[in-house]
Structure formats: structure tokens, C-alpha cells
Structure 1
Amino acid sequence: MSDLPSDRLEPGPPFSNVGIDAFGPWNVVTRKTRVGSAQSKRWAILFTCLTTRAVHIELVEEMSSSAFINALRRFVSIRGKVKVFRSDRGTNFVGSTDNLKIDTVNVENGPVRDFIYKSGTVWIFNPPHSSHMGGVWERMIGISRRILDSMLSSVNGKNLTHDVLVTYMAEVSAIINNRLLVPISPDPDSSIILSPSTLLTQKTCGTDTTYR
């Protein structure tokens, strides 16, 4: 196995180096009528920090350049400026897919490229047919799907709205970010549990349920 990329090991603030991928879609109720309800699709953009392994999920109404730029802007506004984005070369982000009728965002052309250039961010694609190199975000996608499927199992598809799905995505992020990064210390006086959430919020919850 070769060495990890430098941006996986580089010390720095959370979400300085980010892996990104898209998943979905889900059908949500957008309008109720007398005879039924109108539905539309929603996708999720998952951002994962390459060093702290924290995740941030943004919901988008369509896989288009404008919707994707808005998701990037929301993410940067909350998490701060990003130095490096990494992703695969899947049809979600690159390629001419008009003939295939695939919903896609092409970050190599047009407004997305201009937005990334102006923000001073570098976007690095993995080589083609190298899905193993995207294990950082593919693992997070798999975990997110399993948690979300469990949440949606108790929700009638006719009652799933955009607001409910946004709330679920926030809770999925919170669950993932609360996972342990290192084993729990056997020292009874050490109540600090290191997790991505701890690194993001600087809050640790001890056995007395008070924040320290």
C-alpha cells in the first residue's frame, strides 16, 4: 500500500481538505392537491474532512451547477474556506452526460469552475476507475445511507417533505460525527471522548451530562 496523500495527514483546522460526493435521490412531497400530492426529487452533497473525518451534508433540489454552487457556498459559510476538494470522476461531477439523461454537475466547465477558481480552492479528481481511492467519502456515504434508511423506515413516503429530509440529514451528520476516533481511555478520571464532534464544537459530554 502506498503512502496516504499529504492532505490526509496535514495538520490544520477541520474541513481544510475535503472529500466530496453526492448521493440520492429521494422523492419528497412538494405540493398537496385534492386528488393527491406532487413530488419532486432531492439529492444530498456529502462533505467529509480528510483529517478529522467529520461530515457535513447539504440537501439540493437538483443536480445542477447553480444548486451545487449554493451548496458549496452554504458549506463554506458554515465550515470556513477549503484548500483542497477531492472527488472521483463519476458522472455526478464531470463528463458529458446529456445523451445519457443523467442529472449531473460538471465542475470542469462553466460557473462551478469559475466559483472554485475565485475562491482559491484546488479541486483534485481521482484517476478513472479508481474507486478504492475514494474510500474516505464512500465509507461515509454508506454509513449515511444506512442511518437514513433506518430513519425513513418509520416515515410514510407520502409524508416526507423537504423540511423533514433536511432535519434527517442534520441528525445523520450528528450521529456520524459522534462516533469515536480512538478507543476510550480506561482511566476513570478521563471523561473526554475524542470524536469529530468534539473537534468541531470543542464540547465534551461527561458522565454527569454537563458540558466541559
Structure 2
Amino acid sequence: MFSCMCSRAVHIEVIEAMSTSSFINALRRFFAVRGPAKQIRSDCGTNFIGASRDLEMVKTNPGFNSVEEYLHTQGCTWVFNPPHASHMGGAWERMIGIARRILDCMLLEQRRSHLTHEVLTTLMAEVAAIMNARPLIPVSSDPESLLILTPATLLTLKTGSTPPPPPSGSYQEAHLIREEWKRVQGLADTFWNRWKHEYLKTLQLRHKWQGKRQNLQEGDIVLLKDNQAKRNQWPTGIITKTLPGDDGLVRKIQVEVVKDGTRKSFSRPVTEVVLLLSPKSDSAN
């Protein structure tokens, strides 16, 4: 998995073998699709040392020189973080950690049936599309133009996300589906449902309510936790009304969402929304 330090986009490559040749081919495919990179960064922990041995990239093996020479000819350098400093790669470690936990659970459930190369590569493309559709920061506070900036927007220069294929039966029992494209969509839906919950946890920290925190305010832009939303869709809205309790704490809000030119208003508890931008607080600071 490659993660861009500028756009925060991810790119996933499937390799056939843990060899230097497969590793260089993966880099070549990455450069061919995304363009050349000036620098590659990675950690130097025990897990990477073990992987580098499997990739024959340790300096005692001749494969290391071939990879180093290839990167040099491509005008690219490889920088290793110090050992025991995984926090220095937090920008990509968080994405890798979440995706790996979900994929590990999913692939363990698929042990009875083998995934073909076509299914696996298509699934990884769907996974990358889901991860690149995550919101980064809202562009506008206009309730009629709630455009969310995503890594996919920066890559394609297009708004919106790739819609899922039209429903054709149930994709839930992915391991029982004989048609490969339906099986891929079932696995992609499973990843989306798990990814949505795992990623939202990183946006909204749940501390014990032992101290007062700033209430949500009218005009704040929030992300709704909608279980009925389709894949790659992150419903966003603007708070139109807050309903504080007797103690002055806001636990219930009114949220307005604009979709396809239609305005809809919803009543939600504060636990079901994630604050993205607070114009009033930013202007006050």
C-alpha cells in the first residue's frame, strides 16, 4: 500500500511473489499509473525488517542493490525512519492499520473458498476507492454547496464518488456467489461497512464526560453516521438548530442536508454526528 503525503490518497498493488522482481514490477506499475515519485518513506521496525528479508532487500543480498539502483535511475530516494519510531509514519500507519485489520478479518472468513487473482485485484481497487473517498476537510460552509474534499477529488479533479453497481440480489453471502463480479461487490460492501465504523472512530474521540466541552453550534458542518448510506457516500449537513437541556448542554440537534437539490431536515443526537468544521469557533480564534 502506497500513501501520498500530499493528497493522503492510497494506492494498493497486488504482487505475485515476495521477490525483488515482483517488488520492482509493483513500483513500476505504481509509477506508470500515478506518475514518478521523488521520495519513498517507510518505517524500519521489526515487521519491515522481516518483510525486507522476504523481499531480499537487506544489504547483504544482491537484490537490495538492484532495488536501490532502480530507484536511483528513476530519480527516487528511499528514506527509512529510525527504529522504534512508528509515530513518525503516523500519516500512513493509521491507514494501513485500519485497512489491514478489516482485510485480515474478511480474508479469514473466506478461507473455505479461494479468491482468484481477478477477484483479489478488483477487490483491492474497490478498497482503494473506498479509502480515497474519505473526507479530508470541507471546502465550503454554504449549506447549498456542501462539497467535501477527498483524496479522490485531488486525484481525478472530479467531484463525487464512483457509485456502486445497481443492486442485483444480495451480496451478503459473498463466499456463496458464483458470479465473480457479484462476489467482489459483496466483499467491497463488507469492507465499506467495517471501514466506515473504524474510520469514524478516528475522527471522533469519545472521552469520559467528566468535564465540560464546547457545545455544537448552529452553522457547524457535521458528518452524519447514516447506516443506510450507499458505498463511498459520506452524508454531510449543517446544524440549523441546537436543543440544549436544562443543564445547558447540547445533546440533540437539527441537521439540514442538501442532496440532489432537495433539502431535508433530520433530528439527531450529538453522538451520531462528527464535527468537521465550526466557522464560529474558527473566526473567534
TM-score range, shorter chain: 0.5 to 0.7
| Separation in 1, partners of 2:82, 2:14 | 27
Moved more, 61-70 or 175-184: 175-184
1:86 maps to a residue whose letter is R
| Separation in 2, partners of 1:203, 1:96 | 36
2:81 maps to a residue whose letter is N
Q: CA deviation at 1:128?
A: 1.6
| Separation in 2, partners of 1:192, 1:116 | 38
Conservation of the 8 A alpha-carbon contact between 2:133 and 2:151: yes
Q: Does 1:167 align with 2:122?
A: yes
Query: What secondary structure sits across from 2:158 in the alignment?
Result: coil
2:55 maps to a residue whose letter is T
Q: 1:36-58 CA distances to partner (integer Å, 9 max, x unpaired)?
A: xxxxxxxxxx1000121100000
Conservation of the 8 A alpha-carbon contact between 2:45 and 2:84: no
Pick one of 244, 260, 267 that aligns with 1:208. 260
| Separation in 2, partners of 1:117, 1:184 | 38
Aligned to 2:57: 106
Conservation of the 8 A alpha-carbon contact between 1:179 and 1:196: yes
User: Identity over aligned residues, as a percent?
Assistant: 56
| Separation in 1, partners of 2:150, 2:131 | 9
Higher relative contact order (CA 8 A, sep 6+): 1
Aligned to 1:71: 26
| Separation in 1, partners of 2:48, 2:22 | 13
Q: Which has more radius of gyration?
A: 2
Task: Return closer, same or farther for 1:96/1:152 CA change in 2, 3 Å cut-off.
Answer: closer
1:40-189 equivalences in 2 (<5 Å): 46-90=1-45, 103-106=54-57, 109-149=64-104, 151-152=106-107, 155=110, 157-183=112-138, 185-189=140-144
Task: Return closer, same or farther for 1:66/1:143 CA change in 2, 3 Å cut-off.
Answer: same
Q: What TM-score, normalized to structure 1?
A: 0.66
| Separation in 2, partners of 1:164, 1:73 | 22
Q: Does 1:195 align with 2:159?
A: no
Conservation of the 8 A alpha-carbon contact between 1:181 and 1:196: yes
Where is the helix percentage greater, Structure 1 or Structure 2?
A: 2
Q: Find runs of 4+ consecutive structure 1 residues off by over 3 angstroms.
A: 90-97, 149-157, 183-186, 206-209
Task: Return closer, same or farther for 1:77/1:96 CA change in 2, 3 Å cut-off.
Answer: closer
Q: Give structure 2 stretches of 5+ with no counterpart.
A: 161-257, 262-285
| Separation in 1, partners of 2:81, 2:13 | 22
1:139 maps to a residue whose letter is R
RMSD of aligned C-alpha atoms? 2.8
Q: 1:107-157 CA distances to partner (integer Å, 9 max, x unpaired)?
A: 752211110010111111101221111212211111222443565476454
Q: Give structure 1 stretches of 5+ with no counterpart.
A: 1-45
Aligned residue-pair number: 160
| Separation in 1, partners of 2:137, 2:260 | 21
| Separation in 1, partners of 2:26, 2:68 | 14
| Separation in 1, partners of 2:109, 2:145 | 38
Conservation of the 8 A alpha-carbon contact between 2:39 and 2:77: yes
